[in-house]
């Protein structure tokens, strides 16, 4: 199998460009530079995710690469996945409670604060599950493993790039995302397709966003009621 120039551009973007953006974002936050408002960042992420999934599908079709897989997972596989997500949700809930204040502040940079942001977060979660699984576990893995003639190297390279692309979450986030990538690759091998990893990825992001919104909101500032304000002003 030979690939055209669009595949080289795609691999450069996914395996080098996206990690470079992740590293730049990490050092920008670490340096204390202000970030754009969260709603604006969320909209930009949505546009980027739409670009990634569109670019991936176009390049896959041009190079005759099947990325989704021909087999729909069995019912028992979905049942196991649902049980796994329940356990993950409980683990995340405990994990949020144990976060240090520094890590909570970093999480607040990424996660939604209110219902309006969470509505955009839902869109981001769906698009991220589709775009990132198709790009990293689908097309990039197929191309790299074929060119290097090694599935193990394909998994290692794609998982490393995927982890570094999420470096805004910090070094622990890079490691955690790398390990999740390995799990998603294993699911691709076990189910012979991307359907299960896409679904779990979407649900995971939704759970993280929801729990973050509920558990990481800073304490509300004390607001003086109008009646109290008036009485205090007259003293």
User: Which pLDDT score, from 0 to 100, does residue 106 have?
Assistant: 81
Question: What values do phi and psi take at 234, rounded to 5?
Answer: -85, -5
Model confidence band, residue 204 (pLDDT cutoffs 50, 70, 90): very high
User: Which pLDDT score, from 0 to 100, does residue 1 have?
Assistant: 63
Mean pLDDT within 3-18: 95
Model confidence band, residue 32 (pLDDT cutoffs 50, 70, 90): confident
- Gap between the Cα atoms of 188 and 138, Å rounded: 9
Mean pLDDT within 2-18: 94
Six token digits for residue 192:
């012979």
Measure the N-to-C terminal CA separation of the chain; round to a whole number of Å.
Answer: 84
Range scoring the smallest mean pLDDT among 60-74, 86-100, 114-128, 209-223? 209-223
- C-beta of residue 121 within 8 angstroms of C-beta of residue 112: yes
Domain map (residue ranges) of the chain = 5-219
Model confidence band, residue 197 (pLDDT cutoffs 50, 70, 90): very high
Mean pLDDT within 187-201: 94
Q: What is the CA radius of gyration of the chain?
A: 21
- C-beta of residue 139 within 8 angstroms of C-beta of residue 56: yes
Q: Give the distance, in angstroms, between the CA of residue 53 and the centroid of all CA atoms in the same chain.
A: 14
User: Which pLDDT score, from 0 to 100, does residue 70 have?
Assistant: 83
- Gap between the Cα atoms of 179 and 159, Å rounded: 8
User: Which pLDDT score, from 0 to 100, does residue 102 have?
Assistant: 79
Rounded to two decimals, what is the model's pTM? 0.87
User: Which pLDDT score, from 0 to 100, does residue 99 have?
Assistant: 81
Q: Which tens digit of pLDDT belongs to each residue from 47-102?
A: 999 999 999 999 999 999 999 988 888 888 899 889 989 998 898 888 888 888 87
- C-beta of residue 163 within 8 angstroms of C-beta of residue 185: no
- C-beta of residue 22 within 8 angstroms of C-beta of residue 168: yes
Whether residue 183 has pLDDT greater than 60: yes
């Amino acid at each position: 199998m030979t690939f055209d120039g669009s595949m080289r551009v795609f691999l450069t973007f996914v395996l080098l460009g996206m990690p470079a953006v992740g590293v730049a974002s990490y050092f920008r936050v670490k340096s204390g530079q202000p970030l754009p408002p969260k709603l604006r960042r969320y909209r930009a992420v949505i546009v980027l995710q739409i670009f990634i999934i569109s670019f991936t599908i176009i390049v896959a079709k041009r190079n005759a690469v099947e990325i989704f897989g021909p087999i729909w997972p069995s019912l028992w596989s979905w049942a196991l996945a649902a049980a796994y997500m329940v356990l993950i949700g409980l683990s995340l809930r405990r994990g949020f409670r144990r976060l240090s204040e520094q890590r909570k502040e970093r999480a607040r940079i990424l996660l939604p604060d209110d219902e309006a942001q969470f509505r955009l977060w839902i869109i981001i979660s769906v698009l991220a599950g589709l775009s990132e699984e198709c790009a990293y576990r689908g097309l990039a893995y197929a191309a790299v493993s074929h060119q290097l003639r090694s599935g193990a190297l394909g998994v290692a390279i794609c998982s490393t790039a995927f982890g570094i692309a999420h470096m805004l979450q910090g070094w622990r986030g890079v490691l955690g995302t790398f390990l999740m990538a390995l799990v998603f690759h294993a699911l691709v091998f076990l189910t012979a397709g991307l359907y299960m990893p896409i679904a779990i990825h979407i649900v995971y992001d939704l759970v993280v966003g929801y729990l973050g919104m509920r558990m990481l909101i800073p304490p509300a500032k004390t607001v003086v009621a109008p009646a109290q304000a008036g009485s205090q002003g007259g003293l």
